[in-house]
Amino acid sequence: MANISIAGVTRSYGTFTALHGIDLAIADQEFMVLLGASGCGKTTLLRLVAGLDQASGGRIKIGDKDVTDLPPRQRGIAMVFQNYAVFPHLTVFENIAFGLRMKKLDEAAIKSKVQKSAELMHIEQLLQRYSGQLSGGQRQRVAVARALAMEPEVLLMDEPLSNLDALLRLEMRAELKSVLRESKTTTIYVTHDQVEAMSLADRIAVMQGGKIVQCADPVEVYRNPATRFVGGFIGNPPMNFLPARRAGGGIEVAGQIIPGPATGTPVFGIRPEDVAEGGEGPQLTGTVRVVEPLGAHLLATLTVAGELFRAVLDSDRKIAPGDTLTLTARPDRIRWFDAETGLALP
């Protein structure tokens, strides 16, 4: 069993606290993504699990073993970090074979495992090249192939696809997902790319300011963000927010009174794809500012009740800046947040 338990883990650098008491339980064979803006502590947390850095407090367990004070090589993990640590003076083959040689596998087994993981990362034609002669994206794939070749029970990856162009990244993402599922690897994967997070994760842990603000499956995080921050961070374009106030037994939003939460100081939230022209629900009228045809649909930016508001519309819709548009919010997709705490309101 390779479940991972992170309990009360903190990390401070002098007076700065990078991680505030992280609790996270990752199940055996689970694909956990750590997602958050730059500087939120994702890499710091991953380095602690890897043993590349010491926690200031708390415990980390892998399976039944408390690894908090163990060096990386005694933790039974493979990792892909941002600097790759690919040896430039070794060929791609030897780089991928590196860990397998340490395990003293026979030559035939090494060859077959190297070949297999090189094929997965589409670098089989580079096996005899020296790694120092590779592009950043090729080196990054060598690092991933080397980790996969180890067939680890636990794999830790920090932005392993960040240097690939969009198309290759899409392809590698699908390869990684399928191979790690098949090999039943427990994975922690750091990214700030939310599409990557949504596509790969069994669960996403969204981090902000050294804390986990929500940990749930991707659809739940998307549909029911625990905080206003999560709603605004996940989704491209992000969730729209409009000011609201209690009035006439309901809540006033954009000049009309609608039902809403009984407690708190509500802020109204709706995703850009959850509004349409026509249909039942609260009406939001605004002025079109920018129209962006995106192929599959059209993205309109409006001002509604003095706030910027984005709507995803049919690509055939003809609108222009200056037009007045009335949109209907899908009632079942409206979310409420507290203006002071940012927490979702029931």
Whichever of 38 and 128 has its CB closer to ligand ATP, that residue is 38
- Name the minimum Å distance from CB 134 to ligand ATP: 23
Kindly write down the DSSP assignment for every residue of 51-74, as one continuous string: TSS--SEEEEEETTEE-TTS-GGG
Whichever of 13 and 128 has its CB closer to ligand ATP, that residue is 13
- Name the minimum Å distance from CB 18 to ligand ATP: 3
Q: Please select the residue that binds ligand ATP; options are 42, 203, 228, 310, rule is CB under 6 A.
A: 42
Whichever of 110 and 205 has its CB closer to ligand ATP, that residue is 205
Whichever of 36 and 231 has its CB closer to ligand ATP, that residue is 36
Kindly write down the DSSP assignment for every residue of 87-116, as one continuous string: -TTSBHHHHHHHHHHHTT--HHHHHHHHHH
- Name the minimum Å distance from CB 165 to ligand ATP: 20
Q: From the CB of residue 103, how many other CB atoms can be counted at a distance below 10 Å?
A: 9
String marking each residue 79-98 x if it binds ligand ATP according to CB under 6 A: --------------------
- Name the minimum Å distance from CB 67 to ligand ATP: 19
Site residues for ligand ATP, window 175-214 (CB under 6 A)?
A: 192
What residue is closest to ligand ATP based on CB?
43
Q: From the CB of residue 331, how many other CB atoms can be counted at a distance below 10 Å?
A: 14
- Name the minimum Å distance from CB 162 to ligand ATP: 10
- CA-to-CA distance for 211 and 207, rounded, in angstroms? 5
Beta-sheet pairing, 256-258 with 186-191: unpaired
Site residues for ligand ATP, window 316-335 (CB under 6 A)?
A: none
String marking each residue 11-40 x if it binds ligand ATP according to CB under 6 A: --x--x-x-----------------x-xxx
**Signed CA dihedral, 176, 177, 182, 184: sign only:** positive
In the three-class reduction of DSSP (H, G, I as helix; E, B as strand; rest coil), residue 213 is classed as strand
Q: From the CB of residue 79, how many other CB atoms can be counted at a distance below 10 Å?
A: 25
Residues paired with residue 253 on neighbouring β-strands, in sequence order: 256
- Name the minimum Å distance from CB 57 to ligand ATP: 16
Q: From the CB of residue 254, how many other CB atoms can be counted at a distance below 10 Å?
A: 21
Interface with ligand ATP, residue 44, by CB under 6 A: yes
- CA-to-CA distance for 306 and 228, rounded, in angstroms? 19
Binding site for ligand ATP (CB under 6 A): 13, 16, 18, 36, 38-44, 192
